[in-house]
Chain A
Amino acid sequence: MATRYHPTTAGRGRRFVRFGALTASLALIVASAACGGAGPNGAVSGGEKPIRIGALYPTTGSLALLGEESWRGTAIAVKLRNAAGGINGRKIEVVRANVPDVNAAVAEARRLTSKEGLDFAIGTYSSSLALAASEVFARGGGTYVELGAISAEFNNRGYKSVWRTNPTATSFAEQEVSFISKYVAGALGKDVSKLKVVVVHEDSAYGSSVARSVQEKAAAAGITNVSYAPYSATSTDLSSVVLGLRSSKPDVVIAVSYASDAILLARQMKENGVVVPAFIGTGGGHTLAGFGEALGADANYVFDVDFTQYAVNKTATPGLDEFVAAYKKEYGGSPLSGHSLANFMGAQTVFDILEKTGGDTSAKAFGAAAASFKVKEGTTPTGWGVNFDKTGQNTAASAYVMQWRDGVLETVWPESVATMKPVLAK
């Protein structure tokens, strides 16, 4: 016969307390459901009803650095546009959400759509966050415009109300491959098929997606000798990768790195005397001001394919100087990377399209206006044009090839935006 084993619960006092605890926790569940989440934290001005759009960026966690930088571009665009009278006289009100990870992206997107009642949002810098947040908006019939993430998958899901103003990883890869075939091959005096290319990339979503795009584009361009060396971005030591490069002696290295691994890789290459004629970084760590600062003269001749940066042919990027001035005024220093500029241009584009819809943020109105919205290249602060294709991708945006020269990331290719001619490393 089994006796019941349980702690004695003698005394009505104890029973009462347990009941109380249960009720209290029940009440808490209901209450927490009712008040989880703060109110909107955008400025609300008086007068006409403001145009409310959501802005989702990772400002904490591992993506904080460039998430914050991306947000700044949007913030300045909002500020300048509101100062100039807003859209059709109505102020733009941005409802911000911090999305440090995918779960937060889904949760915040849901908050913005239901609690805040938004049907329009922009963001996000990181591809996985962009995918998550835009799914929520798109499935609910809202609109999502991406201003900075590059994963190709974003526009390939069949959603009609998902747009992107910036170039994709595919475009980056295209530009790199094009640069290799059109410039590097000639400068080295080798046929394209004889070039040895190694893709050194960190293994997170960013590095992997670029590597995949390179794989496709290189094959199409006739570059057949391509190998891949993935590594973990958090490595304290990349000597295995560097030694691999030393023994294989490639003509071209395409690198996809974050901040500290870009520096680490460059330093360890120098320590081991590894020189690659064309070392092409792909955004990320190779674009950051910190890279140039940390490496000094050793950064010279490193190429970098990325969004528009700040040492560029200004006749092709009207408005860039004004943006930089506004950034300095607002944040007390120079922009950390081209992400803010890209988001600035994207946000401005969004506002221009909303101008055409008369401030109507519904998917139908925005979709119709965006489809017919065309801007020539060389007329925006990034130099990109605007021409959305059927999947919502801006096909008139492309990455440029920069090169570190004497501590400045100069634009060297294509010629229309270049400040200098490219040079191979010796």
Chain B
Amino acid sequence: MKRYQIVIAAAVVVVLALLPIVVTDQYLLNNAILVVMFIGLTVAWNIAAFGGALSLGHAAFFGLGSYTSALLLLRFDINPWIGMIGGVFVAGLGGLLLCIPLLRLRGPFFTLASLAFVEVLRLLSIYARGLTGGSEGLTVPSRPGWLWMSFLGREPYYYIVLVMSVVTVAISAAIYYSWIGYQLRASGSDDEAVNALGVRSSRLKVFSLVVSAAMTGAFGAFAAQYYFIIDPDTNFSYVLYALQPALNGIVGGMGTVLGPIIGAVLMTPLGEYLRDAFTAEQGLSYIIYGVVLIVVVMVMPGGLMSAIRTGTDRLGRGGRRRAAAAVSKELEPTREEVKP
């Protein structure tokens, strides 16, 4: 990463860290927490996408993180910080499990397998009432204090999730700009060539999926504390935690560092706004949401990042710029060739 990029990123983080000083309204802070959490979730999801794994089952890791943390607290009185580590670990294991289909199936079929994975976990958590409280779920008690990650105000939650998201983005950038990221992008274009060069692309893909799963689990553990009620339909929710990060990633532009961030920043408030604005008409808000999704995918299949890139290409003058852009494009994850 160039120096200037790190400086900008640091500046952004500082501004975000100062946000609660300016904004004291609890509802707005709630929104900010939601946006930041989804930035983290989307970036984490995207790490798996680096490796070509388009998962629609990340809610599985989210739920695993939530339940692990909550159960450790409720059964063994273990504080949520350690619970989060537990959640990360269990979610990572889940990711490892999903690597088996990952390595054997191509794109869309892996996606279906990931969907089945989250459904199985959701159904099992409904069935295993003794362990998970079944459909009624678990309630995390209110024990104010840093030890128990439970607060009356929203500010501490904001800082926690901000730190988590910054770490996630940092890890994503580290992977992207490292040789791992390079290999992953290369194998995205031509897997066989990369393997012929001696790179074990499968190990890298496993790595990115497991990291992605583990980080998602961390946010799940956070959510257990922040929302204090967890149940199968919410914490293993396909719509909320599997589809949404994927949508954000698509809209923003998969496979880059900035894309998921932009996607999350745009789509999260949009969803909240639509739901509030159209309370009276059943379903209207989601119709609009769906239309937005269709339009974005049709008009900008590479997401906003690619639209920005195309925009700068058009703005740029001279062959040197175009040449540089052409080289840059080659290193991007390319659109998958449609096989006959």
The answer to whether A and B touch in the complex, with CB atoms under 8 Å apart, is: yes
Among A14, A111, A127, A232, which residue has its beta carbon within 8 angstroms of that of B30? A111
B177 touches A15 (CB 8 A): no
B134 touches A22 (CB 8 A): no
Nearest CB on B from A267, distance (A): 24
Nearest CB on B from A232, distance (A): 8
B32 touches A8 (CB 8 A): no
**Whose C-beta in chain A lies nearest to the C-beta of B321?**
A11
Task: Using A21-B262, A101-B240, A128-B137 as known contacts, say yes or no to A8 and B328 having CB atoms under 8 A apart.
Answer: yes
Whether, in the assembled complex, A193 has its beta carbon less than 8 Å from a beta carbon of chain B, the answer is no
Nearest CB on A from B309, distance (A): 8
A36 touches B272 (CB 8 A): yes
Task: Using A11-B321, A25-B261, A26-B16 as known contacts, say yes or no to A208 and B282 having CB atoms under 8 A apart.
Answer: no
Interface string of B1-16 (1 = CB under 8 A from A): 1101100110010011
Interface string of B286-328 (1 = CB under 8 A from A): 1000000000000000000000100110011000110011011
Whether, in the assembled complex, B146 has its beta carbon less than 8 Å from a beta carbon of chain A, the answer is no
B328 touches A113 (CB 8 A): no
A103 touches B240 (CB 8 A): yes
Whether, in the assembled complex, A298 has its beta carbon less than 8 Å from a beta carbon of chain B, the answer is no
Bin chain B's interface residue count.
35 or more
List which A19-33 residues lie within 8 A (CB) of chain B: 19, 21-22, 25-26, 28-30, 32-33
B28 touches A205 (CB 8 A): no
Across-interface contacts of B177 in A (CB, < 8 A): 4-6
Task: Using A10-B321, A60-B283, A103-B240 as known contacts, say yes or no to A19 and B8 having CB atoms under 8 A apart.
Answer: yes
Whether, in the assembled complex, A107 has its beta carbon less than 8 Å from a beta carbon of chain B, the answer is yes
Whether, in the assembled complex, B31 has its beta carbon less than 8 Å from a beta carbon of chain A, the answer is yes
Nearest CB on B from A191, distance (A): 32
B268 touches A60 (CB 8 A): no
Across-interface contacts of B9 in A (CB, < 8 A): 22
- The number of A-B residue pairs with CB atoms under 8 Å apart is 194
Whether, in the assembled complex, B181 has its beta carbon less than 8 Å from a beta carbon of chain A, the answer is yes
Interface string of A48-85 (1 = CB under 8 A from B): 00000000000110001000100000000000000000
Across-interface contacts of A101 in B (CB, < 8 A): 233-234, 237, 240
List which B142-175 residues lie within 8 A (CB) of chain A: 142, 152, 154
B324 touches A10 (CB 8 A): yes
B23 touches A33 (CB 8 A): yes
Whether, in the assembled complex, A1 has its beta carbon less than 8 Å from a beta carbon of chain B, the answer is no
Among B285, B321, B325, which residue has its beta carbon within 8 angstroms of that of A60? B285
Interface centre among A15, A36, A97, by most chain B C-beta atoms within 10 angstroms, is A36
**Whose C-beta in chain B lies nearest to the C-beta of A62?**
B233
A59 touches B32 (CB 8 A): no
Whether, in the assembled complex, B273 has its beta carbon less than 8 Å from a beta carbon of chain A, the answer is yes
Chain-B contact segment, one of A131-139, A247-255, A305-313: A131-139
Among B179, B308, B315, which residue has its beta carbon within 8 angstroms of that of A21? B308
How far is A185 from B101 in the complex, measured between Cα atoms in Å?
Answer: 56
List which A96-143 residues lie within 8 A (CB) of chain B: 96-98, 100-104, 106-108, 110-111, 113-116, 127-128, 131-132, 135, 139
Across-interface contacts of A59 in B (CB, < 8 A): 279, 282
B135 touches A32 (CB 8 A): no
B135 touches A203 (CB 8 A): yes
Task: Using A32-B35, A208-B135 as known contacts, say yes or no to A97 and B279 having CB atoms under 8 A apart.
Answer: yes
**Whose C-beta in chain A lies nearest to the C-beta of B180?**
A5
A22 touches B136 (CB 8 A): no
Nearest CB on A from B132, distance (A): 11
Among B139, B182, B262, which residue has its beta carbon within 8 angstroms of that of A5? B182
Among A4, A22, A36, A102, which residue has its beta carbon within 8 angstroms of that of B269? A36
Whether, in the assembled complex, A209 has its beta carbon less than 8 Å from a beta carbon of chain B, the answer is yes
**Whose C-beta in chain A lies nearest to the C-beta of B268?**
A32
How far is A174 from B51 in the complex, measured between Cα atoms in Å?
Answer: 57
Among B12, B25, B134, B315, which residue has its beta carbon within 8 angstroms of that of A114? B25
Nearest CB on A from B25, distance (A): 5
A98 touches B275 (CB 8 A): yes
How far is A11 from B318 in the complex, measured between Cα atoms in Å?
Answer: 11
B27 touches A113 (CB 8 A): yes
Whether, in the assembled complex, B129 has its beta carbon less than 8 Å from a beta carbon of chain A, the answer is yes
Nearest CB on B from A62, distance (A): 8
**Whose C-beta in chain B lies nearest to the C-beta of A101?**
B234
Nearest CB on B from A390, distance (A): 20
Task: Using A7-B332, A113-B26, A131-B229 as known contacts, say yes or no to A14 and B181 having CB atoms under 8 A apart.
Answer: no
Across-interface contacts of B29 in A (CB, < 8 A): 33
Task: Using A8-B328, A128-B137, A203-B126 as known contacts, say yes or no to A32 and B265 having CB atoms under 8 A apart.
Answer: yes
Across-interface contacts of A15 in B (CB, < 8 A): 4
Nearest CB on B from A14, distance (A): 6
Interface centre among A102, A114, A116, by most chain B C-beta atoms within 10 angstroms, is A102
A38 touches B273 (CB 8 A): yes
Nearest CB on A from B22, distance (A): 8
A36 touches B31 (CB 8 A): yes
Among A29, A33, A132, which residue has its beta carbon within 8 angstroms of that of B229? A132
Across-interface contacts of A9 in B (CB, < 8 A): 2, 328
How far is A135 from B227 in the complex, measured between Cα atoms in Å?
Answer: 10
**Whose C-beta in chain B lies nearest to the C-beta of A204?**
B135
Among A11, A30, A206, which residue has its beta carbon within 8 angstroms of that of B324? A11
Task: Using A25-B261, A103-B227, A132-B227 as known contacts, say yes or no to A17 and B273 having CB atoms under 8 A apart.
Answer: no
How far is A30 from B280 in the complex, measured between Cα atoms in Å?
Answer: 28
Nearest CB on B from A52, distance (A): 15
30 A/B residue pairs, CB under 8 Å, sorted by A: A5-B177, A5-B182, A6-B182, A11-B321, A17-B311, A21-B258, A22-B8, A29-B32, A32-B265, A33-B28, A34-B28, A35-B269, A36-B31, A38-B276, A41-B280, A68-B282, A96-B279, A97-B276, A98-B275, A102-B234, A103-B234, A127-B136, A128-B137, A128-B231, A132-B227, A153-B136, A203-B126, A203-B135, A205-B137, A232-B123
Query: Apart from A59-B282, A206-B135, what are 10 other A-B pairs with CB-CB below 8 Å?
Result: A4-B177, A6-B177, A6-B182, A29-B35, A38-B273, A60-B275, A64-B282, A114-B25, A139-B152, A232-B126
Q: Which residues of B contact A (CB under 8 A)?
A: 1-2, 4-5, 8-9, 12, 15-16, 19, 23, 25-32, 34-36, 123, 126-127, 129, 134-137, 139, 142, 152, 154, 176-179, 181-182, 227-229, 231, 233-234, 237, 240, 258, 261-262, 265-266, 268-269, 272-273, 275-277, 279-280, 282-283, 285-286, 308, 311-312, 315-316, 320-321, 324-325, 327-328, 331-332
